[in-house]
Structure formats: C-alpha cells, structure tokens
Amino acid sequence: MNTFVELGLSKQALARLKGIGFTEPTEIQSKAIRPMLDGCDVMASAQTGSGKTAAYALPVIDRLGKRAKTCRALVLLPTRELALQVKAEFERFGAHGQIKTSVLYGGTGYGNQTRELRAGPDVIVATPGRLLDFIQRRMVDLSTVEMLILDEADRLLDLGFAPQIRKVIERVPTRRQTAMFSATFDLRVERLAKEYLTDPVRVGVCAKRIEPASIEQQFHKTNEDEKDALLLKLISDAGQGSILVFTRTRRKAKKVAARLRAAAVEAQEIHGDVSQNKRETTLDHYRKGKFNVLVATDVAARGLDIPTISHVVNYDLPQSPSDYVHRIGRTGRAGRSGCSHTFVCDSDHGSLRQIEKIVGRTLMSRPISAPLSSIKRAPRRHFGRRPASR
Ligand code: AMP
C-alpha cells in the first residue's frame, strides 16, 4: 500500500490530511488518487465506507488549485444525504477557503441553494433533478466543467436517473476528466461508462472496508409475527449505541416506528412520506443522540455517515441484494465496530442466496439468545427521555 506522500498529493493536501488524522490511504484511495491526479478517466468499484469520497475529492481539490469562481468540478450523486456528506468532505479537505463547494438537491426551497450558487462555487455537488432545475433557470452553467464525477452510479441508475444524467452530461464539455464510482458494476453501469468515459483506468476494491472485520453480521430465522418481539429484544440488548432499522416500504417504516413507540422506545422514522425538513431535523437529532432508534427505508437512509450507529437491523430484506451491503455499511464507520442483524423469513431464502453471492460467503442464521415467549415479557430498555404521555 502506498503512503499519501507517494500518491503525489500536494503539500497542502498532505498537511490537511495530517490535521484531520488520516494516517494512511485506504485501498481505493491508494488505487484511484494517482490516476485521478494524472487527469485520467477512472472507473472505480468501491462501496460506501471504503473512503471513496476522499479518493476523488483530494485529487479534484489538488487539480483545482485555487479558487476561480467558476464551476470546474461537478459531482452527480443519488441522494440529498450523500450530497450533504460529500460537500462536508470537500470542505474538510479544502479548508481555509481554498475552494468553494455548493450543494444542490431537491425537496427543499431554492433560496439557500441560489445564494450558494451566486457566490460562484468551484465544485457543485448535486442530485440530477435539482441540478437540471437550476440549469433551466439559467442559474448554473456547466460549460466550464473540467472534472465530472458520478458517485454511486449504480444507485443513480437504480433510482431511474439515467435520462437526467444524460441531459446533464450533454451540457458538460466533452474535453473533461470523468470518474465513475459504483459499488456494483452491472451491464447498465458498464453501458453508461462506455458512453461517457474514455479509456478509463479501472480500479477495483474487494468489498473491504477501512476496518475489514468491523461489522459482525448476524442472521435470525423468524416470521412476520415475531419480528417485533425480536426487534425489541435486540434493542434491549444493544446498549447505548444508535440503532438503524431498515424496512422495505414506507408503510412498514411507519408501522414499525409506531409499534416501537407504543412499547416505550423512543423511535423516529425517515422515509419518502416524511417532509425533507422533518427528515433533516430527525437526522440531526439522531446524530446528536437525542434518540437512539431510527426506522428508515433504503432511499431515505442512503449514504448516512453517523459514526455512532452501532447496530443495523434489517427488519425486512432489501429489494435489491446490493442494498444489503449499503445498509450494513451504515455501521462500523470511522474505525468503530458495528453489528448487523438480518431477519430472514422462509420466503426470503432466494434473496438470501443472492446476498451470499455478493458478500462471497455462506451466511449462517443464529437463534436469538432468549426464547421468544420471554422476549415478550422482557423488561424493555428506554432510550433517551420517555415520551411525554408516559
Ligand atoms: P466514504 O467511503 O467516503 O463514505 O468514507 C467513509 C469514512 O471513512 C468517512 O467518515 C471518511 O471521513 C473516513 N475516511 C476516509 N478515508 C480515510 C482514511 N484514509 N483514514 C481514515 N478514515 C478515512
């Protein structure tokens, strides 16, 4: 593995990394930073949690050099949560006003984003729909873009953004550097890469994270009727860390959160029926530890980077097997350890086999330590303050 110095990063970047406390590059950084600095197109297979944001943000900032007040780098990504995190990483690596980054995402007013754009950002981090809105309003000009990054390309395509991505790329000069980061490379992602990347340097990273053994994965055979009792048992055993519970649908997320609250667990929910503002407040409170159990759907929790998440519970298996990896990657972050619990019903076995193919091993199911009859009677742990009604 190379050191950051050997990768050819500037003195300024090295000083910043030292200040942040990154001592050595992750595998994806070790493989992607040099070709990115050289201006090559890059196709990188990397998951969230692998350090992929720094793998492109560091070379982009170095190549930008200093502030020019025109948009020279564009990062397209699938969700608002990821957009906010990527912006924060750019700000961390390019501190002291070296460059300015704007973030654009939908589901919220245009005011703040318009103000940010007026300041002339060097980097725009955006979800495709909102970016197109701003292009139509003639508030964004992409004709000066030199570097284009497609982050979580598989997810962008899963969410149906292909037409918007194409419309955006049509407005970016063809003489540019393009990099694509994706957890999975299926035919659709390959097709997109073929269309928009030129002789890309391919860098692959096995599904390894910064701390490879940091997530303990457990599977529990159950049925729909027993899931709530099992969840309460896990919550009661979990200690003080934050727990993220995934359901497959919005309706289920609402129901599970309501049932937890009825059992005196302070649980909140984020999903497509929750307004963007409410989602942001909920996430802020979750991050600050004001409550410990968050129930979420895949899209709403995409890209969350909250180091205190100690447990991920897959109340339902995800629709797409690749989401399993994204989900469990919400824990074990920033060098901490984490645990994932997946509930598996008889009807889930086909999906489980597909997940096994992706993680490359057989996943053993474990009985939960106490019999379910006692779980139902077990004293429940209350997180944070109890609801006012109790
Ligand atoms: P990402 O995969 O970009 O979402 O990064 C996952 C987490 O790892 C983020 O909290 C990063 O700040 C952190 N990280 C990235 N690179 C390194 C590194 N070289 N050393 C330690 N932590 C890192």
Domain-located, residue 389: no
User: Are residues 131 and 68 part of one domain?
Assistant: yes
How far away, in angstroms, is 56 Cα from ligand 1 center? 12
Q: Would the pTM of this model clear 0.75, i.e. be above it?
A: no
Q: Are 301 and 313 in contact (CB under 8 A)?
A: no
Return the structure tokens found at 378. Answer: 């077990």
Q: Side chain identity at 337, as an amino acid letter?
A: S
What range does the domain containing 50 cover? 5-204
User: Are residues 254 and 335 part of one domain?
Assistant: yes
Q: Give yes or no for residue 375 having a pLDDT over 80.
A: no
Kindly report the backbone phi and psi dihedral angles of residue 5, in degrees, each rounded to the nearest multiple of 5, phi listed first: -60, -45
Strand ranges inside the chain, DSSP E: 42-45, 73-76, 101-104, 123-126, 147-150, 177-182, 201-204, 215-221, 242-246, 267-270, 293-296, 309-314, 338-344
Confidence of residue 360 (pLDDT cuts 50, 70, 90): low
The pLDDT mean for the chain works out to 86
Encode pLDDT of 185-232 as tens digits.
888 889 999 999 999 999 987 544 433 346 788 889 899 999 999 999
Domain-located, residue 359: yes
Atom of ligand 1 nearest to the CA of 49: 2
User: Are residues 239 and 195 part of one domain?
Assistant: no
Question: How crowded is the C-beta side of 177, counted as CA atoms within 13 Å?
Answer: 20
- Residue 293 β-bridge partners: 243, 267
Q: Side chain identity at 174, as an amino acid letter?
A: T
Residue 247 has a pLDDT of 97
| Cα–Cα dist 67/99, whole Å | 5
User: Are residues 146 and 79 part of one domain?
Assistant: yes
* Nearest CA residue ID for atom 11, ligand 1: 51
Domain-located, residue 348: yes
Domain-located, residue 384: no
Domain-located, residue 379: no
Domain-located, residue 387: no
Encode pLDDT of 282-310 as tens digits.
999 998 899 999 999 987 777 677 878 88
Say how many domains are in the chain.
Answer: 2
Q: What is the CATH number of the domain that holds 20?
A: 3.40.50.300
Q: How many other C-beta atoms are found inside a 10 Å radius of the C-beta of residue 118?
A: 10
User: Are residues 185 and 153 part of one domain?
Assistant: yes
Mutate to test the pocket of ligand 1, among 210, 211, 304 (most ligand atoms within 8 A of CB): 210
Q: Give yes or no for residue 381 having a pLDDT over 70.
A: no
User: Are residues 107 and 30 part of one domain?
Assistant: yes
| Cα–Cα dist 338/235, whole Å | 14
User: Are residues 117 and 78 part of one domain?
Assistant: yes
Return the structure tokens found at 171. Answer: 């407005």
Last residue of a domain, one of 204, 233, 251: 204
User: Are residues 128 and 241 part of one domain?
Assistant: no
